[in-house]
Amino acid sequence: METILLKNTDNPNAADIEEYLKAGGYSSLAKALERQPKDVIEEVKNSGLRGRGGAGFPTAMKWNFAVADPKFPKYLICNADEGEPGTFKDRPILEKNPHLLIEGMVISGYALGAEHGYIYLRGEYPDARDILDRAIQQAYAKNYLGDNILGKGVTFTLSVHQGAGAYICGEETALIESIEGKKGQPRNKPPFPVNSGAWAMPTIVNNVETLSNVPYILEAGGKAYSSIGSKDCPGPKLFCVSGCVNKPGVYELPMGTSLKSIIYDYAGGMRNGAKLKAVIPGGISTPVLPADSIDCAMDFVSMPKAGSMLGSGAVIVMDESVCMVKVTYRALKFFEHESCGKCVPCREGTEWLRKILERMERGSGREGDIELLSEVAGIMSGRTFCPLGDGAAGVVLGMLRHFRNEFEEHIKNAKCVFS
Amino acid sequence: MLTAECQEMFNDTVLKEIDEIRGKYPDRKSALLPALYVAQREFGWLSDEAMMSVSRALNLPEAMVRGTASFYSMFRHAPVGRHLIQLCTNVSCMILGAEKLIDFLQSTYGVRPGGTSQDGRFSLVVMECIGACGTAPAMLVNTDFHDNLTETTIEEILERYK
Protein backbone atom coordinates (compact mmCIF):
# COMPACT_ATOMS: atom_id res chain seq x y z
CA MET A 1 0.00 0.00 0.00
CA GLU A 2 1.11 3.55 -0.74
CA THR A 3 1.97 5.20 2.55
CA ILE A 4 0.21 8.43 3.44
CA LEU A 5 1.29 9.17 7.00
CA LEU A 6 4.82 7.79 6.78
CA LYS A 7 5.33 8.95 3.22
CA ASN A 8 8.93 9.86 2.52
CA THR A 9 10.06 9.09 6.08
CA ASP A 10 12.86 6.84 4.86
CA ASN A 11 14.47 10.03 3.54
CA PRO A 12 16.82 11.13 6.37
CA ASN A 13 16.07 14.79 5.60
CA ALA A 14 12.30 14.33 5.40
CA ALA A 15 11.72 16.77 8.26
CA ASP A 16 13.17 19.63 6.21
CA ILE A 17 10.64 21.84 4.46
CA GLU A 18 12.52 21.73 1.14
CA GLU A 19 12.25 17.95 1.04
CA TYR A 20 8.60 18.13 2.01
CA LEU A 21 7.93 20.62 -0.79
CA LYS A 22 9.81 18.46 -3.30
CA ALA A 23 7.49 15.60 -2.42
CA GLY A 24 4.45 17.79 -3.15
CA GLY A 25 3.99 19.13 0.37
CA TYR A 26 1.75 22.12 1.13
CA SER A 27 -0.05 21.71 -2.22
CA SER A 28 -3.02 20.35 -0.33
CA LEU A 29 -3.13 23.53 1.75
CA ALA A 30 -3.17 25.62 -1.42
CA LYS A 31 -6.09 23.55 -2.69
CA ALA A 32 -7.98 23.82 0.59
CA LEU A 33 -7.64 27.61 0.67
CA GLU A 34 -9.32 27.79 -2.75
CA ARG A 35 -12.43 26.29 -1.18
CA GLN A 36 -14.90 27.49 1.43
CA PRO A 37 -14.22 26.33 5.02
CA LYS A 38 -17.53 24.45 5.11
CA ASP A 39 -16.56 22.57 1.94
CA VAL A 40 -13.31 21.50 3.58
CA ILE A 41 -15.29 20.12 6.53
CA GLU A 42 -17.67 18.40 4.10
CA GLU A 43 -14.70 16.69 2.45
CA VAL A 44 -13.48 15.45 5.83
CA LYS A 45 -17.01 14.30 6.63
CA ASN A 46 -17.15 12.35 3.37
CA SER A 47 -13.82 10.73 4.19
CA GLY A 48 -15.29 9.11 7.31
CA LEU A 49 -12.18 10.06 9.30
CA ARG A 50 -12.42 9.12 12.97
CA GLY A 51 -10.12 10.38 15.72
CA ARG A 52 -6.96 8.36 16.14
CA GLY A 53 -6.35 9.20 19.79
CA GLY A 54 -8.29 6.17 20.96
CA ALA A 55 -11.96 7.12 21.14
CA GLY A 56 -12.60 7.04 17.39
CA PHE A 57 -15.02 9.98 17.42
CA PRO A 58 -15.98 11.21 13.93
CA THR A 59 -13.66 14.14 13.25
CA ALA A 60 -15.99 16.25 11.10
CA MET A 61 -18.75 15.96 13.71
CA LYS A 62 -16.43 17.28 16.40
CA TRP A 63 -15.41 20.10 14.09
CA ASN A 64 -19.01 21.05 13.32
CA PHE A 65 -19.82 21.35 17.04
CA ALA A 66 -17.05 23.93 17.38
CA VAL A 67 -18.00 25.75 14.19
CA ALA A 68 -21.62 26.01 15.36
CA ASP A 69 -20.51 27.86 18.50
CA PRO A 70 -20.47 31.59 17.76
CA LYS A 71 -17.73 32.41 20.29
CA PHE A 72 -14.42 33.63 18.94
CA PRO A 73 -11.47 33.12 18.96
CA LYS A 74 -11.43 29.35 18.51
CA TYR A 75 -8.37 27.23 19.24
CA LEU A 76 -7.00 24.11 17.58
CA ILE A 77 -4.85 21.91 19.78
CA CYS A 78 -2.90 18.95 18.51
CA ASN A 79 -2.68 16.23 21.15
CA ALA A 80 0.92 14.99 20.90
CA ASP A 81 0.98 13.77 24.50
CA GLU A 82 1.52 10.21 23.34
CA GLY A 83 1.80 8.60 26.78
CA GLU A 84 -0.18 5.37 26.60
CA PRO A 85 2.40 2.69 27.39
CA GLY A 86 3.24 0.71 24.27
CA THR A 87 2.46 3.66 22.03
CA PHE A 88 5.08 5.23 19.77
CA LYS A 89 3.06 5.74 16.61
CA ASP A 90 2.98 9.56 16.57
CA ARG A 91 6.71 9.82 17.13
CA PRO A 92 7.70 9.13 13.48
CA ILE A 93 5.28 11.82 12.28
CA LEU A 94 6.58 14.33 14.84
CA GLU A 95 10.24 13.57 14.21
CA LYS A 96 10.30 12.66 10.52
CA ASN A 97 7.23 14.22 8.97
CA PRO A 98 6.47 17.36 11.02
CA HIS A 99 5.34 19.38 8.00
CA LEU A 100 2.58 16.88 7.29
CA LEU A 101 1.18 17.63 10.75
CA ILE A 102 1.67 21.39 10.32
CA GLU A 103 -0.05 21.35 6.94
CA GLY A 104 -2.89 19.32 8.44
CA MET A 105 -3.24 21.83 11.26
CA VAL A 106 -3.32 24.88 9.00
CA ILE A 107 -6.00 23.29 6.80
CA SER A 108 -7.99 22.26 9.86
CA GLY A 109 -7.62 25.68 11.43
CA TYR A 110 -8.91 27.28 8.24
CA ALA A 111 -11.91 24.92 8.15
CA LEU A 112 -12.70 25.61 11.80
CA GLY A 113 -12.14 29.34 11.79
CA ALA A 114 -9.39 28.83 14.37
CA GLU A 115 -6.48 31.23 14.00
CA HIS A 116 -4.31 29.85 16.76
CA GLY A 117 -2.90 26.39 17.18
CA TYR A 118 -0.83 24.64 19.82
CA ILE A 119 0.91 21.31 19.71
CA TYR A 120 0.79 19.78 23.19
CA LEU A 121 3.93 17.66 23.07
CA ARG A 122 4.85 15.21 25.79
CA GLY A 123 7.94 16.20 27.78
CA GLU A 124 9.64 12.89 27.11
CA TYR A 125 10.19 13.73 23.41
CA PRO A 126 13.01 16.31 23.52
CA ASP A 127 14.12 15.52 19.94
CA ALA A 128 10.62 16.07 18.60
CA ARG A 129 10.55 19.43 20.38
CA ASP A 130 13.60 20.67 18.48
CA ILE A 131 12.40 19.24 15.18
CA LEU A 132 8.93 20.76 15.52
CA ASP A 133 10.31 24.15 16.55
CA ARG A 134 12.53 24.19 13.48
CA ALA A 135 9.75 23.02 11.17
CA ILE A 136 7.41 25.69 12.53
CA GLN A 137 10.07 28.36 11.94
CA GLN A 138 10.50 27.15 8.37
CA ALA A 139 6.76 27.20 7.78
CA TYR A 140 6.56 30.78 9.08
CA ALA A 141 9.44 31.80 6.81
CA LYS A 142 7.59 30.46 3.76
CA ASN A 143 4.26 31.94 4.88
CA TYR A 144 2.49 28.63 5.41
CA LEU A 145 2.00 29.96 8.95
CA GLY A 146 1.40 33.50 10.15
CA ASP A 147 -0.77 36.19 8.58
CA ASN A 148 -2.17 36.26 5.07
CA ILE A 149 -1.15 32.67 4.37
CA LEU A 150 -0.46 32.18 0.63
CA GLY A 151 -1.96 35.61 0.03
CA LYS A 152 -5.44 34.37 0.97
CA GLY A 153 -5.99 36.55 3.99
CA VAL A 154 -5.92 33.54 6.30
CA THR A 155 -4.16 33.68 9.68
CA PHE A 156 -2.84 30.72 11.65
CA THR A 157 -0.24 30.88 14.40
CA LEU A 158 1.34 27.76 15.83
CA SER A 159 3.59 26.92 18.75
CA VAL A 160 4.64 23.92 20.81
CA HIS A 161 3.54 23.57 24.43
CA GLN A 162 5.64 20.99 26.21
CA GLY A 163 4.06 18.74 28.82
CA ALA A 164 6.05 17.59 31.81
CA GLY A 165 5.46 13.92 32.37
CA ALA A 166 1.80 13.47 33.24
CA TYR A 167 -0.05 10.71 31.40
CA ILE A 168 -3.42 12.16 32.37
CA CYS A 169 -2.75 15.20 30.15
CA GLY A 170 -3.57 12.98 27.16
CA GLU A 171 -7.20 13.35 28.31
CA GLU A 172 -8.35 16.43 26.45
CA THR A 173 -9.75 18.47 29.32
CA ALA A 174 -6.70 17.72 31.48
CA LEU A 175 -4.56 18.74 28.52
CA ILE A 176 -6.39 22.05 28.35
CA GLU A 177 -5.90 22.62 32.09
CA SER A 178 -2.21 21.94 31.55
CA ILE A 179 -1.94 24.42 28.68
CA GLU A 180 -3.53 26.96 31.01
CA GLY A 181 -0.67 26.42 33.46
CA LYS A 182 -2.59 24.31 35.95
CA LYS A 183 -2.38 20.79 37.34
CA GLY A 184 -3.54 18.36 34.69
CA GLN A 185 -6.83 17.30 36.27
CA PRO A 186 -9.79 16.55 33.99
CA ARG A 187 -12.74 18.93 33.89
CA ASN A 188 -16.38 18.17 34.25
CA LYS A 189 -18.20 17.69 30.95
CA PRO A 190 -20.36 19.36 29.75
CA PRO A 191 -19.40 21.95 28.77
CA PHE A 192 -17.33 20.14 26.17
CA PRO A 193 -14.11 21.69 24.87
CA VAL A 194 -15.77 22.38 21.51
CA ASN A 195 -17.89 24.98 23.36
CA SER A 196 -15.73 25.94 26.29
CA GLY A 197 -12.18 24.65 26.13
CA ALA A 198 -8.91 26.53 26.35
CA TRP A 199 -9.44 29.98 27.90
CA ALA A 200 -13.19 29.19 27.88
CA MET A 201 -13.31 29.40 24.10
CA PRO A 202 -14.35 26.75 21.54
CA THR A 203 -11.40 24.38 21.32
CA ILE A 204 -10.81 21.41 19.09
CA VAL A 205 -8.36 18.81 20.35
CA ASN A 206 -7.25 16.30 17.72
CA ASN A 207 -4.56 13.64 17.81
CA VAL A 208 -1.35 13.95 15.73
CA GLU A 209 -2.33 11.07 13.45
CA THR A 210 -5.86 12.44 12.94
CA LEU A 211 -4.60 15.84 11.79
CA SER A 212 -1.94 14.23 9.61
CA ASN A 213 -4.65 12.51 7.58
CA VAL A 214 -6.21 15.83 6.58
CA PRO A 215 -3.79 16.87 3.77
CA TYR A 216 -4.35 13.57 1.94
CA ILE A 217 -8.14 13.85 2.32
CA LEU A 218 -8.05 17.29 0.67
CA GLU A 219 -5.61 16.09 -1.96
CA ALA A 220 -7.30 12.86 -3.00
CA GLY A 221 -10.84 13.64 -1.90
CA GLY A 222 -12.93 12.21 0.90
CA LYS A 223 -14.38 9.51 -1.29
CA ALA A 224 -11.00 8.09 -2.29
CA TYR A 225 -9.91 8.16 1.34
CA SER A 226 -13.02 6.32 2.48
CA SER A 227 -12.17 3.44 0.17
CA ILE A 228 -9.08 2.60 2.27
CA GLY A 229 -9.51 0.09 5.08
CA SER A 230 -12.66 -0.70 7.07
CA LYS A 231 -15.98 0.59 5.79
CA ASP A 232 -17.15 2.05 9.11
CA CYS A 233 -13.83 3.60 10.06
CA PRO A 234 -11.71 4.03 6.97
CA GLY A 235 -8.23 5.27 6.30
CA PRO A 236 -4.68 4.25 6.99
CA LYS A 237 -3.76 3.43 10.58
CA LEU A 238 -0.44 3.46 12.34
CA PHE A 239 0.12 0.30 14.37
CA CYS A 240 3.08 0.21 16.72
CA VAL A 241 4.19 -3.25 17.71
CA SER A 242 6.43 -4.00 20.68
CA GLY A 243 7.35 -6.94 22.89
CA CYS A 244 8.28 -10.47 21.87
CA VAL A 245 8.29 -10.11 18.07
CA ASN A 246 11.08 -10.26 15.51
CA LYS A 247 10.46 -6.86 13.94
CA PRO A 248 8.92 -4.42 16.39
CA GLY A 249 8.14 -1.02 14.93
CA VAL A 250 5.53 1.30 13.46
CA TYR A 251 3.52 -0.04 10.52
CA GLU A 252 1.14 1.98 8.38
CA LEU A 253 -1.60 -0.38 7.24
CA PRO A 254 -5.23 -0.08 6.24
CA MET A 255 -7.57 0.28 9.21
CA GLY A 256 -9.08 -3.12 9.92
CA THR A 257 -5.95 -5.17 9.20
CA SER A 258 -6.17 -8.28 11.36
CA LEU A 259 -4.23 -8.37 14.59
CA LYS A 260 -2.84 -11.75 13.61
CA SER A 261 -1.57 -10.39 10.32
CA ILE A 262 0.05 -7.39 12.02
CA ILE A 263 1.99 -9.71 14.32
CA TYR A 264 2.93 -12.45 11.86
CA ASP A 265 2.99 -10.79 8.41
CA TYR A 266 4.45 -7.43 9.36
CA ALA A 267 6.15 -7.64 12.75
CA GLY A 268 7.94 -10.82 11.75
CA GLY A 269 6.22 -13.23 14.11
CA MET A 270 7.44 -14.41 17.49
CA ARG A 271 11.02 -13.92 18.61
CA ASN A 272 13.16 -17.02 19.06
CA GLY A 273 10.29 -19.14 17.78
CA ALA A 274 8.54 -18.70 21.12
CA LYS A 275 4.86 -19.44 21.56
CA LEU A 276 2.42 -16.55 21.67
CA LYS A 277 0.58 -16.24 24.96
CA ALA A 278 -1.27 -12.92 24.93
CA VAL A 279 -1.59 -9.57 23.19
CA ILE A 280 -2.51 -6.18 24.56
CA PRO A 281 -3.89 -4.74 21.31
CA GLY A 282 -4.30 -1.01 21.83
CA GLY A 283 -1.98 0.25 24.55
CA ILE A 284 -1.84 -0.80 28.16
CA SER A 285 -5.35 0.49 29.00
CA THR A 286 -7.01 -1.95 26.62
CA PRO A 287 -8.05 -5.42 27.84
CA VAL A 288 -5.68 -8.30 27.04
CA LEU A 289 -6.52 -10.91 24.40
CA PRO A 290 -5.32 -14.51 24.69
CA ALA A 291 -3.41 -16.12 21.81
CA ASP A 292 -6.50 -17.80 20.36
CA SER A 293 -8.43 -14.52 20.05
CA ILE A 294 -6.22 -12.50 17.71
CA ASP A 295 -8.06 -13.20 14.49
CA CYS A 296 -9.86 -9.87 14.68
CA ALA A 297 -9.95 -6.73 12.56
CA MET A 298 -8.10 -3.84 14.18
CA ASP A 299 -10.61 -1.02 13.98
CA PHE A 300 -12.91 0.92 16.29
CA VAL A 301 -15.98 -1.19 15.49
CA SER A 302 -14.55 -4.72 15.45
CA MET A 303 -12.29 -4.64 18.49
CA PRO A 304 -15.03 -4.13 21.12
CA LYS A 305 -16.76 -7.20 19.63
CA ALA A 306 -13.51 -9.12 20.08
CA GLY A 307 -13.44 -8.18 23.76
CA SER A 308 -10.98 -5.31 23.70
CA MET A 309 -10.46 -1.91 22.05
CA LEU A 310 -8.41 -0.44 19.24
CA GLY A 311 -7.10 2.26 21.58
CA SER A 312 -3.97 3.81 20.14
CA GLY A 313 -3.15 0.78 17.98
CA ALA A 314 -0.26 -0.10 20.29
CA VAL A 315 0.18 -3.85 20.05
CA ILE A 316 2.16 -5.37 22.93
CA VAL A 317 3.02 -8.99 22.19
CA MET A 318 3.81 -11.42 25.00
CA ASP A 319 5.16 -14.96 24.76
CA GLU A 320 4.83 -17.89 27.17
CA SER A 321 7.69 -16.68 29.36
CA VAL A 322 5.83 -13.51 30.40
CA CYS A 323 3.99 -13.55 33.73
CA MET A 324 0.51 -12.08 33.47
CA VAL A 325 0.36 -11.22 37.17
CA LYS A 326 3.56 -9.25 36.82
CA VAL A 327 2.29 -7.41 33.73
CA THR A 328 -0.93 -6.56 35.57
CA TYR A 329 1.04 -5.42 38.61
CA ARG A 330 3.31 -3.23 36.47
CA ALA A 331 0.31 -1.75 34.67
CA LEU A 332 -1.40 -0.89 37.95
CA LYS A 333 1.80 0.62 39.34
CA PHE A 334 1.66 2.89 36.32
CA PHE A 335 -2.01 3.82 36.80
CA GLU A 336 -1.48 4.48 40.49
CA HIS A 337 1.41 6.80 39.67
CA GLU A 338 -0.56 8.59 36.96
CA SER A 339 -3.91 8.91 38.76
CA CYS A 340 -4.41 12.65 39.15
CA GLY A 341 -5.99 12.26 42.57
CA LYS A 342 -9.19 14.13 41.74
CA CYS A 343 -11.71 11.32 42.25
CA VAL A 344 -11.77 8.72 45.02
CA PRO A 345 -12.49 5.51 43.04
CA CYS A 346 -9.43 6.04 40.84
CA ARG A 347 -7.06 7.46 43.44
CA GLU A 348 -7.83 4.79 46.06
CA GLY A 349 -8.75 2.00 43.67
CA THR A 350 -5.52 2.03 41.68
CA GLU A 351 -3.52 2.01 44.91
CA TRP A 352 -5.43 -0.95 46.35
CA LEU A 353 -5.24 -2.92 43.13
CA ARG A 354 -1.51 -2.32 42.95
CA LYS A 355 -1.01 -3.39 46.57
CA ILE A 356 -2.91 -6.65 46.11
CA LEU A 357 -1.10 -7.44 42.86
CA GLU A 358 2.25 -6.60 44.37
CA ARG A 359 1.81 -9.03 47.25
CA MET A 360 0.62 -11.74 44.86
CA GLU A 361 3.64 -11.30 42.63
CA ARG A 362 5.95 -11.38 45.66
CA GLY A 363 4.47 -14.61 46.92
CA SER A 364 2.35 -13.22 49.74
CA GLY A 365 -1.01 -13.45 47.99
CA ARG A 366 -3.89 -14.33 50.28
CA GLU A 367 -6.89 -16.53 49.94
CA GLY A 368 -9.67 -14.29 48.60
CA ASP A 369 -7.33 -11.84 46.86
CA ILE A 370 -8.68 -12.66 43.42
CA GLU A 371 -12.21 -11.93 44.58
CA LEU A 372 -10.96 -8.74 46.18
CA LEU A 373 -9.34 -7.66 42.91
CA SER A 374 -12.61 -8.28 41.05
CA GLU A 375 -14.58 -6.41 43.66
CA VAL A 376 -12.34 -3.34 43.73
CA ALA A 377 -12.09 -3.22 39.93
CA GLY A 378 -15.85 -3.72 39.68
CA ILE A 379 -16.51 -0.82 42.02
CA MET A 380 -14.20 1.45 40.00
CA SER A 381 -15.76 0.58 36.64
CA GLY A 382 -18.02 3.36 35.41
CA ARG A 383 -17.53 5.37 38.60
CA THR A 384 -14.36 7.29 37.90
CA PHE A 385 -14.24 10.89 36.71
CA CYS A 386 -12.36 10.11 33.51
CA PRO A 387 -11.34 7.01 31.53
CA LEU A 388 -8.04 6.51 33.40
CA GLY A 389 -9.68 4.66 36.28
CA ASP A 390 -11.94 2.69 33.97
CA GLY A 391 -8.93 1.61 31.95
CA ALA A 392 -7.08 0.48 35.07
CA ALA A 393 -10.05 -1.58 36.24
CA GLY A 394 -10.52 -3.02 32.75
CA VAL A 395 -6.92 -4.22 32.64
CA VAL A 396 -7.40 -6.20 35.87
CA LEU A 397 -10.78 -7.61 34.88
CA GLY A 398 -9.49 -8.61 31.41
CA MET A 399 -6.49 -10.40 32.90
CA LEU A 400 -8.67 -12.23 35.41
CA ARG A 401 -11.08 -13.25 32.67
CA HIS A 402 -8.41 -14.90 30.54
CA PHE A 403 -5.58 -15.78 32.92
CA ARG A 404 -7.27 -16.42 36.27
CA ASN A 405 -5.31 -19.65 36.67
CA GLU A 406 -2.02 -17.73 36.84
CA PHE A 407 -3.35 -15.58 39.66
CA GLU A 408 -4.53 -18.70 41.48
CA GLU A 409 -1.15 -20.38 41.06
CA HIS A 410 0.65 -17.35 42.48
CA ILE A 411 -1.43 -17.65 45.64
CA LYS A 412 -1.31 -21.42 45.85
CA ASN A 413 2.46 -21.70 45.33
CA ALA A 414 3.20 -18.53 47.29
CA LYS A 415 5.56 -17.42 44.54
CA CYS A 416 5.82 -16.31 40.94
CA VAL A 417 6.66 -19.39 38.89
CA PHE A 418 8.04 -17.24 36.08
CA SER A 419 10.83 -15.54 38.00
CA MET B 1 9.47 28.31 53.56
CA LEU B 2 10.10 31.23 51.34
CA THR B 3 11.39 34.32 53.08
CA ALA B 4 12.08 37.88 52.11
CA GLU B 5 15.76 36.99 51.78
CA CYS B 6 15.06 34.84 48.74
CA GLN B 7 16.92 36.40 45.88
CA GLU B 8 15.53 37.00 42.43
CA MET B 9 17.47 34.46 40.38
CA PHE B 10 16.71 35.31 36.78
CA ASN B 11 18.98 37.60 34.82
CA ASP B 12 17.65 39.98 32.15
CA THR B 13 18.17 37.53 29.28
CA VAL B 14 16.07 34.89 31.02
CA LEU B 15 13.39 37.41 31.96
CA LYS B 16 13.21 38.46 28.32
CA GLU B 17 12.87 34.81 27.27
CA ILE B 18 9.97 34.32 29.68
CA ASP B 19 8.39 37.50 28.39
CA GLU B 20 8.55 36.12 24.84
CA ILE B 21 6.95 32.86 25.99
CA ARG B 22 4.13 34.89 27.56
CA GLY B 23 3.43 36.41 24.19
CA LYS B 24 2.45 33.01 22.80
CA TYR B 25 -0.58 32.70 25.07
CA PRO B 26 -3.71 34.76 25.75
CA ASP B 27 -2.89 34.95 29.47
CA ARG B 28 0.20 34.88 31.65
CA LYS B 29 -0.61 31.79 33.71
CA SER B 30 -0.45 29.66 30.57
CA ALA B 31 3.25 30.45 30.37
CA LEU B 32 3.80 28.65 33.69
CA LEU B 33 4.90 25.22 32.42
CA PRO B 34 7.39 26.62 29.91
CA ALA B 35 8.67 29.10 32.51
CA LEU B 36 9.22 26.26 34.99
CA TYR B 37 11.21 24.46 32.30
CA VAL B 38 13.32 27.60 31.85
CA ALA B 39 13.91 27.77 35.61
CA GLN B 40 14.86 24.09 35.69
CA ARG B 41 17.25 24.55 32.78
CA GLU B 42 18.89 27.53 34.49
CA PHE B 43 19.27 26.02 37.95
CA GLY B 44 19.11 22.28 37.42
CA TRP B 45 16.10 21.87 39.72
CA LEU B 46 13.21 23.84 41.15
CA SER B 47 14.43 25.25 44.43
CA ASP B 48 12.26 27.57 46.52
CA GLU B 49 14.14 30.46 45.00
CA ALA B 50 13.61 29.18 41.46
CA MET B 51 9.86 28.84 42.00
CA MET B 52 9.66 32.24 43.60
CA SER B 53 11.49 33.72 40.62
CA VAL B 54 8.94 32.17 38.28
CA SER B 55 6.13 33.49 40.45
CA ARG B 56 7.57 37.00 40.23
CA ALA B 57 8.42 36.86 36.54
CA LEU B 58 4.85 35.88 35.64
CA ASN B 59 3.15 37.75 38.50
CA LEU B 60 1.39 34.57 39.65
CA PRO B 61 0.67 33.45 43.21
CA GLU B 62 3.41 31.26 44.65
CA ALA B 63 0.80 28.68 45.64
CA MET B 64 -0.17 28.23 42.02
CA VAL B 65 3.44 27.88 40.91
CA ARG B 66 4.09 25.27 43.61
CA GLY B 67 0.87 23.41 42.91
CA THR B 68 1.62 23.09 39.23
CA ALA B 69 5.31 22.33 39.72
CA SER B 70 4.52 19.52 42.16
CA PHE B 71 2.00 17.81 39.87
CA TYR B 72 4.30 17.00 36.96
CA SER B 73 6.93 14.32 37.34
CA MET B 74 9.49 15.93 35.05
CA PHE B 75 9.90 18.92 37.35
CA ARG B 76 12.62 18.18 39.87
CA HIS B 77 12.39 19.22 43.49
CA ALA B 78 15.89 18.27 44.58
CA PRO B 79 19.32 18.67 43.00
CA VAL B 80 20.33 15.93 40.59
CA GLY B 81 23.69 14.55 39.53
CA ARG B 82 25.67 15.76 36.53
CA HIS B 83 23.76 13.37 34.29
CA LEU B 84 20.17 12.28 34.63
CA ILE B 85 19.36 8.72 33.56
CA GLN B 86 15.66 8.17 32.90
CA LEU B 87 15.12 4.47 32.31
CA CYS B 88 11.76 3.09 31.27
CA THR B 89 10.45 -0.01 33.04
CA ASN B 90 6.90 -0.04 31.74
CA VAL B 91 5.47 -3.22 30.22
CA SER B 92 7.19 -3.27 26.80
CA CYS B 93 10.58 -2.47 28.37
CA MET B 94 9.92 -4.79 31.33
CA ILE B 95 9.21 -7.75 29.05
CA LEU B 96 12.61 -7.25 27.46
CA GLY B 97 14.57 -7.02 30.68
CA ALA B 98 14.55 -3.40 31.89
CA GLU B 99 14.48 -4.45 35.55
CA LYS B 100 17.82 -6.22 35.27
CA LEU B 101 19.26 -2.96 33.98
CA ILE B 102 18.11 -1.19 37.14
CA ASP B 103 19.99 -3.78 39.20
CA PHE B 104 22.99 -3.37 36.92
CA LEU B 105 23.03 0.42 37.32
CA GLN B 106 22.79 0.00 41.06
CA SER B 107 25.65 -2.46 41.32
CA THR B 108 27.91 -0.78 38.75
CA TYR B 109 27.40 2.90 39.48
CA GLY B 110 25.87 2.86 42.95
CA VAL B 111 22.78 4.70 41.84
CA ARG B 112 19.33 3.69 43.03
CA PRO B 113 15.98 4.67 41.54
CA GLY B 114 15.22 8.17 42.77
CA GLY B 115 18.77 8.64 43.99
CA THR B 116 22.17 10.00 42.96
CA SER B 117 25.51 8.20 42.93
CA GLN B 118 27.90 9.29 45.68
CA ASP B 119 30.29 10.87 43.20
CA GLY B 120 27.42 13.01 41.89
CA ARG B 121 27.87 11.64 38.38
CA PHE B 122 24.48 10.02 37.81
CA SER B 123 20.94 10.36 39.06
CA LEU B 124 18.44 7.67 38.16
CA VAL B 125 14.73 8.06 37.61
CA VAL B 126 12.53 5.13 36.73
CA MET B 127 10.27 6.35 33.97
CA GLU B 128 6.87 5.39 32.80
CA CYS B 129 6.70 4.88 29.02
CA ILE B 130 9.09 7.09 27.00
CA GLY B 131 7.67 6.06 23.62
CA ALA B 132 10.56 3.85 22.56
CA CYS B 133 8.70 0.55 22.98
CA GLY B 134 9.74 -0.72 19.56
CA THR B 135 13.39 -0.53 20.55
CA ALA B 136 13.00 -1.52 24.19
CA PRO B 137 14.53 -1.37 26.73
CA ALA B 138 15.21 2.34 26.42
CA MET B 139 16.39 5.32 28.41
CA LEU B 140 17.02 9.01 28.17
CA VAL B 141 20.36 10.32 29.42
CA ASN B 142 19.77 14.05 29.88
CA THR B 143 17.96 14.67 26.56
CA ASP B 144 19.61 11.88 24.53
CA PHE B 145 17.64 8.76 23.60
CA HIS B 146 19.36 5.36 23.88
CA ASP B 147 17.57 2.12 23.10
CA ASN B 148 17.95 -1.63 22.54
CA LEU B 149 19.85 -1.58 25.82
CA THR B 150 21.81 -4.46 27.29
CA GLU B 151 24.19 -4.47 30.24
CA THR B 152 27.08 -4.23 27.78
CA THR B 153 25.73 -1.37 25.71
CA ILE B 154 24.50 0.60 28.71
CA GLU B 155 28.04 0.56 30.12
CA GLU B 156 29.51 1.71 26.81
CA ILE B 157 26.94 4.47 26.49
CA LEU B 158 27.46 5.76 30.02
CA GLU B 159 31.22 6.01 29.40
CA ARG B 160 30.38 9.08 27.33
CA TYR B 161 28.86 10.84 30.33
CA LYS B 162 31.63 11.77 32.75
Cβ neighbours, 10 Å, residue A333:
20
ipTM given for this complex: 0.95
Note whether B141 and B158 are within 8 A (CB): yes
Q: Nearest-CA distance from B129 to chain A in Å?
A: 5
pTM: 0.97
In the chain, the amino acid numbered A399 is M
User: A367-399 pLDDT, tens per residue?
Assistant: 999 999 999 999 999 999 999 999 999 999 999
Note whether A185 and A177 are within 8 A (CB): yes
Contacts of A379 (CB under 8 A, 6+ apart): A345, A349
φ and ψ at residue A289, rounded to 5 degrees? -120, 135
C-alpha atoms less than 13 angstroms from C-alpha of B72 in its C-beta half-sphere: 30
Integer Cα distance of A155 and A151 in angstroms = 10
User: B94-139 pLDDT, tens per residue?
Assistant: 999 999 999 999 999 999 999 999 999 999 999 999 999 999 999 9
> CA angle, corner B151, sides to B114 and A327, nearest 5?
65
Mutate to test the interface with B, among A82, A119, A242 (most CBs of B within 10 A): A242
Strands of the A314-319 sheet, one edge to the other: A249-254, A236-243, A314-319, A276-280, A289-290
Split chain B (162 residues) into runs of 10 and give each run's mean pLDDT: 59 95 97 98 94 96 97 95 97 96 97 96 95 97 96 96 96
Stated as kind and residue range, the H or E segment containing B13 is helix B12-22
Chain A residues within an 8 Å CB radius of B31: 181
* Domain architecture of chain B: domains with CATH: 12-71 (1.10.10), 83-159 (3.40.30.10)
Split chain A (419 residues) into runs of 10 and give each run's mean pLDDT: 90 96 97 98 98 95 98 98 97 98 98 98 97 98 98 98 97 98 97 98 98 98 96 96 98 98 98 97 97 97 96 98 98 98 97 98 97 98 96 98 98 93
Measured between alpha carbons, how far is residue A264 from residues A1, A213, A315, B69 in Å? 17, 26, 12, 45
What fold characterizes domain A236-319? Ubiquitin-like (UB roll) (3.10.20)
Helix axes B32-43, B62-71, angle to 10 degrees: 80
Integer Cα distance of A375 and B72 in angstroms = 31
- Interface check for B127 against chain A (CB to CB < 8 A): the answer is yes
Note whether A60 and A103 are within 8 A (CB): no
Number of A to B CB contacts under 8 A, please give it: 136
Note whether A171 and A387 are within 8 A (CB): yes
Q: Which residues 87-106 of B have a C-beta within 8 angstroms of A?
A: 89-92, 94-96
Note whether A119 and A160 are within 8 A (CB): yes
Integer Cα distance of A349 and A379 in angstroms = 8
Note whether B148 and B135 are within 8 A (CB): yes
Q: Nearest-CA distance from B5 to chain A in Å?
A: 27
Contacts of A355 (CB under 8 A, 6+ apart): none
Contacts of A221 (CB under 8 A, 6+ apart): A43, A46
- Interface check for A267 against chain B (CB to CB < 8 A): the answer is no
Beta strands at A203-207 and A249-254: parallel, antiparallel or unpaired: unpaired
Under DSSP, the state recorded for A94 is H
A324-413 CATH? 1.20.1440.230
- Domain A17-226 in CATH 3.40.50.11540: yes
Contacts of B97 (CB under 8 A, 6+ apart): B137, B150
Stated as kind and residue range, the H or E segment containing A155 is strand A154-162
Residue spans per domain, chain A:
17-226, 236-319, 324-413
Integer Cα distance of A206 and A157 in angstroms = 17
